[in-house]
Chains A and B, each alone.
Chain A
Amino acid sequence: MVSLSWHAPATLAAMLFIIGLIGLLARRSLIFVLMSIEIMLNAAGLLFITAGMRWGNPQGQIMFIFVINLAGAELALGLILLLRLRNRLTTLDGDAANRLRDVQA
C-alpha cells in the first residue's frame, strides 16, 4: 500500500494521457491513431482507480471495468474498419482516407 497522496498517480494519469494525445496528433498511420486512443482510455482508467483508492469506494474499479469494456468494443470496430480500409486503399494513411471518393472502387 503506497503512502503517497493521490497527487502522484493523478499526475501519472495526466502524463500518460498527454503522451497519448501527442501520438494521436502527430502520427498519420491509423494503427498508431488507434493505439493512442487506447493509451488515453487507459490513463482515464488510472484516474478512476486513483479516485477509488482515495475514497475507498469500489465505484472507481467498476468504472475501470466499464472503460475496458468500452475500449474493447471501440477497438473491435476500429480494427475491422482498418482491415476494410487496407483492402480499399494501399496505405494506412489517415489523410488518404479523406479522399475515398478518388479511389477506384
Chain B
Amino acid sequence: MSLSGYDIVFYAASAFALLTTAIAITRANPLYGLLNFVLSLLGMAVVFYTLGAPFAAALEVIVYAGAIMVLFLFVVMMLRLDRTAIARESGWLTSSIWIIPILSGAALAGELLYGLLGSTGPAGAHHIVSPQAVGLKLFTTDLAAVELASMLLLAGLIGAYHLGRPARARD
C-alpha cells in the first residue's frame, strides 16, 4: 500500500492531535491545558480536511477553537487562579490517581478497537462532501433539526443569563 501525500498529512495531524490532547489533560496549570487543547483542535481541523470535509474543518477552527475555547480561556482568567491554586492542583496529580482511569480506559479501548478493526465491512470509496451539499441538506430536509438546535442555544442563553445575575436580583 502506497501512502499518498494526504495520508502522510492525516497521520501527522492525528499524531499531533493525540499528543497535544494527552498533554492537555495532564497539566497542572489550566491555561496551559486549554492552550494545548486549542492546538489539538487545530490538528483535528487538518484531519477533517484530509477526510474530505472542508466545511467541518473551517467550523472547527472558527467556532470550536476560535469562539468556544476562547470563551473558556476568558472564564478561566476570570476565576482568579493564583499560585496556591496551581500548587494544590499539582499536589492532586500524583501518579496513583491515573492507575484506575488508565486501566478502565484500556479496557474500553480494547473493546472499541476489537469492534472497529474486527469489522470486515468494505473499505469503500472516499467522497469529498462539499459545503454546498451540506447547506442544501441542512436547510431543506433537516430544517426541523435546525429549529431544535436554535431552541437549545436559546435555552443555554436564558440559563446562563439567569445564573449569571447577581444573587440579589435572582431572588
Report the interface size for chain A: residues with CB under 8 A from the other chain: 72
Specify which chain A residues have a CB less than 8 angstroms from the CB of B136 in the assembled complex: 58
Report the interface size for chain B: residues with CB under 8 A from the other chain: 83
A22 touching B18 in the complex, CB below 8 Å, given contacts A86-B79, A91-B88: no
In A1-28, which residues have CB < 8 Å from any B CB?
A: 1-12, 14-23, 25-28
21 A–B contacts from the bound complex (CB under 8 Å): A1-B126, A2-B7, A2-B10, A3-B4, A18-B109, A26-B101, A27-B92, A32-B33, A35-B25, A38-B72, A39-B24, A42-B41, A56-B129, A58-B133, A58-B136, A58-B137, A64-B53, A69-B152, A73-B156, A77-B163, A83-B164
Counting CB contacts under 8 A, is B12 at the interface?
A: no
Alpha-carbon distance between A70 and B6 when the two chains are bound, in angstroms:
30
Quick one: which of B22, B25, B59, B152 contacts A64, CB cutoff 8 A?
B59
Q: Are the C-beta atoms of B152 and A70 separated by less than 8 Å?
A: yes
Main secondary structure, interface of A, reads: helix
Q: Are the C-beta atoms of B79 and A91 separated by less than 8 Å?
A: no
A residues engaging B (CB < 8 A)?
1-12, 14-23, 25-29, 31-32, 34-36, 38-39, 42, 45-46, 49-50, 52-62, 64-66, 68-77, 79-84, 86, 91-92
Q: Are the C-beta atoms of B100 and A25 separated by less than 8 Å?
A: yes
- Tell me the smallest distance from the CB of A66 to a CB of chain B, in Å: 6
Quick one: which of A3, A8, A14 contacts B109, CB cutoff 8 A?
A14
A1 touching B52 in the complex, CB below 8 Å, given contacts A62-B145, A84-B163: yes
Alpha-carbon distance between A52 and B51 when the two chains are bound, in angstroms:
9
- Can you list, as one digit per residue, whether each of B53-74 has a CB less than 8 Å from chain A (1) or not (0)? 1011001100110011001100
